[in-house]
């Protein structure tokens, strides 16, 4: 689950805060779409939730223990991300120098699961995302849709409490986009995870449980 | 005569052998009767003769009773390098040997009795030297010398080694004892087998003894011998037994015999000076050595009659060593194994002295 | 919280990344490894060779000297230790035994090669030098060693083809000793060629009378060497010295220390270039993978691990590189010792090839050094990786943060400060007798050069790029001016390598020019005749004095050596026939030539002597001459490149008036005009007969210069290696910067740049960076060359020389390097033009 309270973020140069007094609760198993105009601060909000940027005030509680990521130091944030957050990006960000199976296993390694325990879990998940037998392949030989499936598998493998997806279908053709979105939502619901999906696409937003719009005045 | 393997052994160094001389043998002076010895001149060296030694044996009463010590300087003129003018030509070789018999410590410290020894060798004028006018012979810092002091004459012994060192003065309590016929001492069945032999028994020992780094004040009694000769060993002899005793009450006794291969006596002689200064000489017929108990060395395998009965005229004496294992192995001038150590003498006369037994660990080569 | 499982999981991830890195950057990684390996190999090889050479030297010394606790010897090689002193020493209770020896060199049956004859006393020798103990042979004619035979080492017997019992004649100058071989020396080293005889026989035949060469002392086990030595030193006669075993090792290490340190610094240079290459490789690796690392960071890789990962990758280069270096070093050491001997052609030790024995601890130390170098190289990239802003890097890649490197007046301060510090350091005297401050100066000069690179780049190219120029050129200029970090990395490799190479070239060339001039001055005569270690035979000297001899002029010289300090190598004493009033006719003085204010002996000292013992012209020097201490006036300092440990020249007249015995060993000969060949023919019979050496000045000169060149062979090899590494660094960084600017280049391509234009732009960029690097490198090179010539050389080797810059060579080197740099950037350009424009533009976001 995700719990934001009274969140405020300013830009060093701008007089007006990017957002302030922001509050949001995403329950376990709930999928929330975040929409809004470009530059309104969707990505910044996402970065703040992931602990990649510092919010100026407020709290961000993540996971079953509801740890406030805003109060942690850099290393602890990294550890919290490793255990509790799964990421899906518009640009896929699959490591080209690791095989598909290795890419998916990276979060497991970051959680401290030794490599010999990976095989079954990665194989099962590859099957669930429709990539059976893709494990030993190199990312360079995969299509965009396939890469995003790999990314989804990677986001889910360590059973995080929260999935953060930033335009997950932005680089895909509409047909593939639809498939991928369906897959993501299906897997998220299946694992009872909270998810926050940033998107410009109405189609994507409409598939989510709840749609929030970020405006300079706040969330609605 | 005497003892020490030096004189019988050819000059043999680890790195060279001495073959029979290829050139004409050098003429050594002969030893003959009727020479009047003069002192202190005759305490000095007689470099023309083939061999010579100054020999001090003694028994200490402190720091520990029955501590035996011995210091010998041996001079040899091997007949080599005689034609060289170089001052360091090897015409005169000096050897020195020192030994210390340490009896077992007191009961509480159950330390075992042991025999320590050390040796040195050098040629004269190159780290060693001797005087021809008085007793003063040294190799490095080892030295035996005679001095005249206001209180009288005395000898000084100085030696150092890693295990033991001593610095003693020997003060005479009696006059010199000229062995044989005024110092002419026969060693075999021929007039040419003889030496000039001067003894000085009953010398009072004082000084410092260092054993295992422990410095202690020492005192005791010693016996001084000085002997020079050119030829002494009978061709049949394989070794000898020799005994020199400072008798309780002030007397002195010297006895020796030459043995052949069957351990039979080839020649023997004894001298007894009683406390009143009366001297008696005993010829071979009156001197006998009879083994009572043998001790076998595990090192050399030799068996030595460490307890002997010695009959000298009407006297019967028995030897009892303070330590059975007083077997020595000298590496210079040649590797020779023999027994030499402090013994108690009991019987008709009693006292302490040094017993030397050679030729038991194989024949001494000539 | 890090658990064991956690660690092993993170280890797996690290290993995957390292493997991936090696797979994708095979060439760069391998070359970095090679560079580190080269540095380790050179350092290790030098260590091995020197160790082996010193051990060999020590062994050779031990085999003729034994293993005494101390040695009493004359300070003047012509002197000796009186017997009385030996005998007095022997009576010291602290002395267990003093073994006197007489050492001399003799020729056997007129063979031209002299061998050592050691006269010893078997009674004392056994305790101090057991390896010299003779073994009497049954075939010997004489009874024993005292009867006068000699004993030869088995090698010598074999060489001479002699057996025990055979007769031979030993010749030393006029003295001849006809003797026989009585046996051998079974314990001598197989290399040793020497004779042993009884000391009295050697004394009788060859002297010295009433004295010996030296006394070798074994102390009593409970004696304290230093106290004993101090006490003895106080009562020792002035002409004698006491030398302990540690003096021998100190002297031994003094003998080779300067050349050793210099070679080690060269190895360090290789190691530093290796570290630089790791830096370039890792920096580009970090830049290229910044998105990947950012992703891992977002996924939860801790900042510490991001730092560690890059360091680990550096170590993954350094460790195999170092291991490679160790084995390469061993091979090099073996090969070099076989080819050049233990001193790498330096001429300090004997010609024999020493045995290379690697030990564990130094090997581990060099392994650690290699790893340390690569870790050092990886540190800054690792730090950059640690501090990358994750979100930004994930979307837009590596940030060079140009904001941090803007041109400002304060940026001029750093290089200026460094240059000032370098100048100050260059003025410092040697530390521990080593030119450490000089080395620090060199490091600072390099640092100043590197620090000035971005400033120069931006100023120069920023200004240039504002000129109206064709588009590709402009773009290249702008790239260089605006991406200073990559440009600096690429340029600094060239700065370092070119500066070092140029400086070595300058130093070696200055040295060679100076040696050349010096040879002109010290070889005035057409012919030189020399006897090997024994005085020249009198009949020859007599014959030369007759009118029949075809010579216009003859100058005689006698050589000896003096020990001024037992911890230092001996100083040569040259007794020469020269005019007291005009020594400058024969000696190349470096300063004023003075005459003594009062009547006193006059000497002229060599430059090394002046530097080592800190004595100058006009001062009074106390010399241990002829068994006593003599105050002499120093009339001048002359240049000498032959005797590194110092030399003193005294006129024959002064030497004779001091009571010396003038026994010439060398002759300078001026044949009658036009009769050089007659003169050579005239000399042939005595040369043959006495085993002398004749050389004409041209041959000596040629030999001297060839020895000089040989001793710098390693230097040339290193220069080449440094240049290659520098060029490679340029290629790697250029390629990386192209890769980083893929999007920009692709945009240009999309805007209508064709491949040729792109290629031209990249090559031009490479040429511009190389140009800056070479320019700064040249400046630094001249500066470092001056430091080497004026600071390091006088401090390490105690000789000075004028700076002579071989401009044609340096400029040609720069031009070749520039051409090579353009070639290297072609490699980068090819990568640029191969980028698939559409794919780059599409995938970059």
Taking the CA atoms of C626, C631, C633 and C637 in sequence, report the sign of the dihedral they define. Answer: positive
Cα angle for residues B18, B23, B24 (degrees, 5° grid) = 115
Q: Do C122 and B13 touch (CB under 8 A)?
A: yes
In this complex, is the C-beta atom of C4 within 8 Å of any C-beta atom belonging to chain A? Answer: no
Q: pLDDT tens, C159-216? A: 888 899 999 999 887 788 999 999 999 988 887 889 999 999 999 999 788 899 999 9
Whether residues C222 and B213 touch (CB distance < 8 A) is answered with: yes
Assess C169–A contact: CB distance below 8 Å, yes or no.
no
The domain tally of chain B equals 2
Res B4: pLDDT: 40
Q: Is the pLDDT of residue C545 over 90?
A: no
Backbone φ, ψ for residue C220 (5° rounding): -60, 145
One domain, residues B227 and B276: no
Q: Is B60 inside a domain boundary?
A: yes
pLDDT grade for C836, boundaries at 50, 70 and 90: low
Confidence category of residue B3, pLDDT binned at 50, 70, 90: very low
Structural domains of chain A sorted by starting position, each given as residue range(s) with its CATH number in brackets = 2-219 (3.40.50.300)
Count of CB atoms within 10 A of residue A98's CB?
Answer: 20
Q: What is the pLDDT of residues C300-348, one digit of tens each?
A: 888 888 888 889 988 998 899 999 999 988 988 888 777 765 555 555 5
pLDDT for the residue numbered C629? 86
Q: Can you give the pLDDT at residue C112? A: 74
Query: CA geometry: angle at A147 spanning A141 and A152, to 5°?
Result: 150
B31 within domain boundaries: no
- Of B232, B247, B280, the one marking the end of a domain is B232
Quick one: pLDDT at residue C352? 56
Which class for C542: exposed (0-12), middle (13-18), buried (19 or more C-beta within 10 A)?
exposed
Closest CA to C73 of C64, C65, C81: C81
- Structure-model confidence comparison of residues C686 and C3, the more confident one: C686
Residue B310, classed as helix, strand or coil, is: strand
Cβ of C200 and B128 within 8 Å? Answer: no
Where does the pLDDT of residue C1 fall: very low under 50, low under 70, confident under 90, or very high at 90 and above? Answer: very low
B73 and B213 share one domain: yes
User: C608-631, pLDDT tens digit by residue?
Assistant: 899 888 888 989 998 888 878 889
CATH number for position B47: 2.40.370.10
Q: Which residues pair with C167 in a beta bridge?
A: C180
**Cβ contacts of C836 on chain A, cutoff 8 Å:** none
Asked whether residue B195 falls in the same domain as residue B263, the answer is: no
CA A32 from centre of chain = 11
pLDDT for residue C406 is more than 50: no
Give yes or no for A93 touching C (CB within 8 A).
yes
With respect to residue B22, please indicate whether it lies within any of the assigned structural domains.
Answer: no
Contacts of B89 in chain C (CB under 8 A): 146, 200, 204
- pLDDT above 70 (res B110): no
Query: Which pLDDT score, from 0 to 100, does residue B15 have?
Result: 33
What residues in A contact C26, CB-CB < 8 Å? none
Question: Both B246 and B261 in a single domain?
Answer: yes
Q: How many angstroms separate the CA atoms of C432 and C437, rounded?
A: 11
Touch between chain A and chain B: 3 or more Cβ pairs under 8 Å = no
B84 chain-C contacts, CB cut-off 8 A? 148, 200-201, 204
User: From C102, which residue of chain B is nearest by alpha-carbon distance?
Assistant: B88
Does the distance separating the beta carbons of C13 and A109 come in below 8 Å? yes
Is 0.85 exceeded by the ipTM?
Answer: yes
Same domain? B271 vs B322: yes
pLDDT band at B12 (very low <50, low <70, confident <90, very high): very low
Distances, alpha carbon B120 to alpha carbons B52, B96, C124, C127, C487, in Å: 16, 5, 9, 11, 79
A138/chain C closest Cα distance in angstroms = 12
**Percent helix, strand and coil across chain B, each to the nearest 5:** 5, 55, 45
Task: State yes or no: pLDDT of B344 exceeds 90.
Answer: yes
- Residue B139: what pLDDT? 95
| Tens digits of residue pLDDT in A161-196 | 888 888 888 777 888 788 888 888 888 888 888 888
In three-state secondary structure terms, A190 is helix
The string of pLDDT tens digits covering residues B49-79 is: 999 999 999 999 988 889 999 999 999 998 8
Q: What is the pLDDT of residue C3?
A: 55
Helices (H), C66-148: 83-90, 122-128
Q: Return d(Cα C529, Cα C55) in angstroms, integer.
A: 34
What was the pLDDT predicted at C64? 67
For residue B90, the chain C residue with the least C-alpha distance is C146
Interface test with B, best of C146, C221, C222 (most B CBs within 10 A): C146
B90 and B208: one domain? yes
Q: Under an 8 A CB cutoff, do C10 and A110 touch?
A: yes
Q: Which chains would you list as touching C if contact means 3+ CB atom pairs under 8 Å?
A: A, B
Does B243 lie in the same domain as B221? no
Q: Mean pLDDT of all residues in chain C?
A: 81
* A218 or A62, which is more confident: A62
User: Who wins on pLDDT, C402 or C785?
Assistant: C785
Touching check for C187 and chain B: CB below 8 Å? no
Residue of A nearest to C390 (CA): A52
Closest CA to C643 of C678, C683, C612, C621: C612
Inter-chain contacts counted by CB atoms under 8 A, chains A and C: 84
Q: Between chains, do C23 and A50 touch, taking CB under 8 Å as contact?
A: no
pLDDT confidence tier of residue C755, bands split at 50, 70 and 90: confident
Helix boundaries (H) for chain A: 42-50, 74-84, 100-110, 118-128, 144-156, 174-191, 202-206
Res. B23: pLDDT tops 70: no
End-to-end C-alpha distance for chain C, whole angstroms: 35
Are residues B269 and B215 part of one domain?
no
- Checking if the pLDDT of B7 tops 50, the result is no
- State residue C131's pLDDT score: 86
Q: Between chains, do C200 and B13 touch, taking CB under 8 Å as contact?
A: no
Identify the burial level of A132 via C-beta atoms within 10 angstroms of its C-beta, where 0-12 means exposed, 13-18 middle and 19 or more buried: exposed
Contact assignment for A112 to C12 by CB distance below 8 Å: no
| Spatial CA neighbour of B199 closest among B358, B37, B7 | B37
The answer to whether residue B15 is domain-embedded is no
Q: Which residues of A touch C395 (CB under 8 A)?
A: 91
Q: Which residues of C touch A89 (CB under 8 A)?
A: 394
Highest-scoring range by mean pLDDT, B244-248, C678-682, C743-747: B244-248
Q: Which of C93, C128, C196, C217 to mutate to test the interface with B (most CBs of B within 10 A)?
A: C93
**C124 to B87: CB separation less than 8 angstroms, yes or no:** no
CA-angle at A26, arms to A21 and A27, nearest 5°:
140
B192 and B63 together in one domain:
yes
pLDDT tens figures, C114-138: 889 999 999 999 888 888 899 999 8
Q: What residues of chain C lie within 8 A of the CB of A154, using their CB?
A: 299
Any domain includes B347:
yes
Q: How do residues A62-113 score in pLDDT, each as one tens digit?
A: 877 778 887 888 888 888 888 888 888 887 888 888 889 888 888 888 888 8
Query: Is the per-residue pLDDT at C838 higher than 70?
Result: no
Structural domain that includes position B303: 234-366
Q: Which chains touch A (3 or more CB pairs under 8 A)?
A: C
Predicted local distance difference test score (pLDDT) of residue B20: 38
Structure confidence at residue C102 as a pLDDT band (50, 70, 90): very high
End residue of a domain, out of B232, B254, B289:
B232
Examine the domain organization and report whether B249 and B327 are in the same domain. Answer: yes
Task: Please check whether residue C664 is in contact with residue C557, taking contact to mean a CB–CB distance below 8 angstroms.
Answer: yes
Helix (H) or strand (E) holding C101, with range, is strand C95-108
Cis amide linkage into residue C345, ω under 30° from 0: no
Q: Of A31-45, A66-80, C81-95, where does the model show the most confidence?
A: C81-95
Residue whose structure tokens are 């390694």 = A109
| Average pLDDT value for residue range B332-358 | 88
User: At which of B210, B232, B254 does a domain end?
Assistant: B232
Chain C residues touching A115 at Cβ < 8 A: 8-9, 12
Give residue A73's pLDDT.
Answer: 84
* C127 and chain B in contact, CB less than 8 A: no
How crowded is the C-beta side of C795, counted as CA atoms within 13 Å? 22
By the CB < 8 Å criterion, does C17 face chain A?
Answer: yes
The answer, yes or no, to whether residue C397 has pLDDT greater than 70, is no
Tens digit of each residue's pLDDT (9 = 90 or more) over B139-178 = 999 999 999 999 899 999 999 998 899 999 999 999 999 9
> What band does B273 get if pLDDT is binned at 50, 70 and 90?
very high
Q: Is 90 exceeded by the pLDDT of residue B202?
A: yes
Whole-angstrom distance, CA of residue C637 vs CA of residue C649: 10
Is residue B327 situated within a structural domain? yes
Question: Is the Cβ pair A106, C23 closer than 8 Å?
Answer: no
The answer to whether the beta carbons of residues C156 and C193 sit under 8 Å apart is yes
Q: Is C123 in Cβ contact with B121 (below 8 Å)?
A: yes
Task: Identify the bridge partners of residue B35 per DSSP, sorted by sequence position.
Answer: none
> Which chain A residues are closer than 8 Å to C23 by Cβ?
97
pLDDT, residue C761, reads 77
Can the peptide bond before residue B350 be classed as cis, meaning omega within 30 degrees of 0? Answer: no
Between C687 and C462, the more confident residue is C687
Shortest CA gap C504–chain A (Å): 43
Question: Computed over its alpha carbons, how large is the radius of gyration of chain A?
Answer: 17
User: Looking at the partner chain, which of C12, C21, C303 has a beta carbon nearest the beta carbon of A109?
Assistant: C12
């Amino acid at each position: 689950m995700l719990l934001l309270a009274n969140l405020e973020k300013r830009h060093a140069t701008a007089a007006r805060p990017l957002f302030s007094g922001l509050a949001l609760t995403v329950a376990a198993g709930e999928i929330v779409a975040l929409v809004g105009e470009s530059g309104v601060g969707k990505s910044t909000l996402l970065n703040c939730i992931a602990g990649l940027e510092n919010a100026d005030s407020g709290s961000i509680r993540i996971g079953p223990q509801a740890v406030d990521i805003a109060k942690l130091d850099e290393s602890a944030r990294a550890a919290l991300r490793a255990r509790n957050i799964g990421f899906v990006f518009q640009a896929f960000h699959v490591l080209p120098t690791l095989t598909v199976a290795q890419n998916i296993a990276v979060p497991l390694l970051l959680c401290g699961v030794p490599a010999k325990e990976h095989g079954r879990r990665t194989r099962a998940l590859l099957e669930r995302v429709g990539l059976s037998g893709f494990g030993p392949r190199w990312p360079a030989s995969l299509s965009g849709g396939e890469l995003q499936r790999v990314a989804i598998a990677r986001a889910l493998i360590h059973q995080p409490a929260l999935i953060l997806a930033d335009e997950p279908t932005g680089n895909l053709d509409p047909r593939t986009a639809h498939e991928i979105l369906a897959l993501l939502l299906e897997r998220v619901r299946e694992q009872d995870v909270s998810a926050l999906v940033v998107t410009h696409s109405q189609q994507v937003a409409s598939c989510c449980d709840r749609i929030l719009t970020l405006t300079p005045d706040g969330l609605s | 005569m005497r003892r020490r393997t030096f004189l019988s052994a050819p000059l043999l160094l680890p790195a060279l052998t001495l073959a029979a001389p290829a050139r004409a043998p050098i003429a050594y002076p002969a030893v003959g009767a009727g020479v009047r010895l003069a002192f202190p001149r005759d305490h000095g060296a007689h470099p023309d003769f083939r061999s010579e030694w100054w020999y001090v044996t003694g028994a200490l009463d402190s720091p520990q009773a029955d501590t035996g010590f011995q210091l010998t300087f041996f001079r040899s003129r091997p007949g080599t390098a005689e034609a060289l003018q170089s001052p360091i030509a090897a015409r005169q070789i000096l050897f020195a040997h020192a030994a210390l018999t340490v009896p077992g410590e007191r009961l509480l410290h159950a330390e075992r009795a042991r025999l320590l020894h050390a040796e040195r060798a050098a040629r004269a004028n190159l780290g060693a030297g001797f005087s021809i006018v008085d007793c003063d012979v040294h190799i490095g810092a080892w030295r035996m010398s005679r001095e005249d002091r206001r209180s009288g004459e005395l000898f000084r012994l100085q030696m150092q080694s890693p295990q033991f060192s001593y610095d003693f003065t020997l003060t005479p309590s009696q006059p010199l004892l000229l062995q044989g016929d005024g110092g002419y001492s026969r060693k075999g069945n021929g007039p040419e087998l003889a030496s000039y032999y001067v003894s000085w028994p009953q010398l009072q020992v004082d000084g410092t003894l260092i054993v295992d780094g422990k410095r202690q004040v020492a005192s005791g009694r010693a016996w001084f011998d000085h002997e020079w000769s050119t030829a002494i060993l009978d061709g049949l002899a394989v070794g000898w037994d020799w005994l020199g005793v400072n008798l309780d009450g002030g007397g002195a006794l010297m006895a020796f015999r030459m043995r052949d291969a069957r351990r039979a006596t080839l020649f023997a002689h004894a001298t007894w000076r009683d406390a009143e200064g009366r001297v008696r000489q005993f010829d071979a017929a009156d001197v006998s050595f009879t083994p009572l108990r043998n001790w076998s060395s595990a090192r050399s395998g030799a068996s030595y009659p460490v307890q002997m009965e010695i009959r000298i005229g009407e006297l019967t004496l028995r030897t009892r060593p303070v330590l059975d294992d007083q077997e020595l192995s000298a590496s210079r001038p040649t590797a020779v194994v023999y027994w030499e150590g402090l013994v108690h003498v009991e019987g008709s006369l009693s006292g302490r002295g040094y017993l030397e037994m050679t030729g038991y660990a194989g024949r001494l080569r000539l | 919280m890090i658990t064991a499982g956690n660690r092993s999981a993170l280890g797996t991830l690290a290993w995957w990344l390292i493997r991936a890195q090696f797979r994708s950057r095979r060439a760069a990684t391998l070359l970095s490894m090679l560079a580190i390996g080269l540095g380790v190999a050179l350092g290790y090889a030098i260590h091995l060779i020197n160790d082996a050479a010193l051990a060999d030297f020590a062994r050779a010394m031990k085999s003729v000297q034994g293993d005494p606790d101390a040695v009493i010897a004359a300070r003047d090689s012509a002197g000796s230790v009186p017997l009385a002193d030996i005998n007095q020493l022997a009576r010291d209770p602290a002395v267990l035994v003093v073994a006197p020896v007489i050492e001399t060199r003799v020729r056997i049956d007129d063979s031209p090669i002299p061998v050592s004859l050691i006269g010893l006393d078997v009674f004392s020798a056994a305790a101090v030098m057991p390896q010299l103990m003779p073994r009497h042979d049954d075939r010997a004619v004489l009874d024993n060693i005292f009867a006068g035979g000699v004993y030869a080492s088995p090698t010598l017997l074999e060489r001479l083809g002699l057996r025990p019992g055979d007769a031979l004649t030993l010749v030393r100058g006029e003295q001849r000793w006809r003797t026989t071989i009585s046996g051998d020396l079974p314990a001598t080293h197989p290399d040793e060629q020497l004779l042993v005889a009884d000391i009295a026989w050697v004394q009788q035949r060859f002297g010295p009378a009433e004295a010996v060469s030296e006394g070798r002392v074994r102390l009593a086990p409970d004696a304290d060497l230093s106290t004993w030595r101090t006490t003895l030193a106080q009562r020792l006669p002035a002409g004698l010295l006491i030398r302990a075993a540690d003096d021998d090792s100190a002297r031994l290490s003094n003998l080779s220390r300067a050349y050793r340190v210099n070679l080690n610094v060269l190895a360090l240079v290789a190691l530093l270039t290796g570290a630089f290459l790791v830096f370039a490789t890792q920096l580009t690796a970090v830049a290229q993978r910044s998105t990947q690392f950012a992703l891992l960071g977002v996924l939860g890789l801790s900042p510490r691990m991001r730092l560690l990962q890059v360091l680990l990758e550096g170590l993954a280069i350094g460790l195999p590189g170092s291991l490679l270096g160790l084995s390469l070093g061993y091979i090099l050491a073996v090969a070099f010792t076989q080819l050049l001997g233990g001193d790498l052609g330096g001429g300090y030790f004997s010609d024999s090839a020493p045995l290379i024995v690697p030990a564990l601890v130094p090997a581990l130390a060099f392994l650690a050094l290699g790893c340390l170098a690569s870790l050092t190289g990886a540190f800054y990239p690792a730090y950059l990786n640690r501090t990358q802003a994750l979100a930004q890097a994930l979307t837009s890649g590596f940030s060079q943060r140009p904001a941090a490197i803007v041109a400002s007046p304060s940026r001029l301060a750093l290089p200026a400060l460094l240059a000032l510090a370098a100048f100050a350091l260059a003025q410092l005297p040697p530390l521990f007798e080593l030119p450490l401050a000089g080395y620090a100066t060199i490091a600072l000069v390099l640092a100043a050069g590197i620090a000035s690179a971005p400033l120069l780049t931006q100023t120069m190219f920023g200004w240039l790029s504002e000129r109206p120029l064709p588009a590709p050129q402009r773009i290249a200029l702008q790239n260089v001016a605006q991406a200073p970090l990559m440009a600096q990395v690429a340029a600094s490799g060239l700065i370092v390598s070119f500066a070092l190479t140029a400086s070595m070239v300058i130093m070696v060339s200055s040295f060679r020019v100076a040696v050349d001039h010096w040879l002109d001055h010290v070889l005035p005569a057409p012919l030189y005749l020399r006897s090997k270690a024994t005085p020249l035979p009198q009949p020859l000297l007599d014959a030369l004095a007759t009118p029949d001899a075809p010579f216009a002029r003859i100058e005689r010289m006698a050589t000896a050596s003096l020990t001024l300090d037992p911890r230092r190598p001996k100083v040569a004493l040259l007794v020469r026939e020269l005019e007291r009033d005009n020594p400058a006719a024969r000696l190349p003085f470096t300063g004023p030539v003075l005459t003594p204010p009062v009547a006193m002996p006059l000497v002229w000292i060599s430059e090394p002597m002046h530097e080592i013992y800190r004595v100058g012209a006009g001062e009074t020097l106390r010399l241990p001459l002829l068994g006593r201490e003599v105050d002499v006036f120093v009339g001048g300092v002359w240049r000498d490149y032959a005797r590194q440990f110092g030399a003193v020249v005294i006129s024959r007249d002064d030497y004779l008036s001091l009571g010396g015995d003038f026994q010439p060993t060398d002759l300078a000969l001026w044949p009658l005009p036009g009769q050089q060949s007659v003169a050579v023919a005239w000399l042939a019979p005595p040369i043959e007969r006495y085993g002398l050496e004749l050389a004409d000045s041209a041959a000596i000169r040629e030999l001297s210069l060839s020895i000089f060149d040989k001793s710098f062979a390693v230097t040339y090899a290193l220069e080449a290696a440094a240049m290659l590494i520098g060029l490679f660094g340029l290629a790697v960084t250029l390629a990386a910067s192209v890769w980083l600017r893929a999007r920009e280049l692709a945009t240009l391509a999309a805007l209508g740049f064709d491949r040729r234009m792109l290629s031209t732009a990249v090559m031009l960029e490479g040429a511009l960076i190389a140009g800056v690097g070479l320019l700064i490198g040249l400046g630094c090179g001249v500066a470092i060359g001056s430091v080497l010539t004026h600071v390091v050389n006088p401090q390490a080797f105690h000789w000075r020389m004028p700076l002579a810059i071989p401009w044609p060579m340096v400029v040609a080197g720069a031009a070749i390097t520039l051409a090579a740099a353009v070639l290297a950037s072609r490699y980068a350009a090819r990568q640029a033009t191969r980028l698939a424009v559409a794919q780059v533009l599409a995938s970059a976001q």
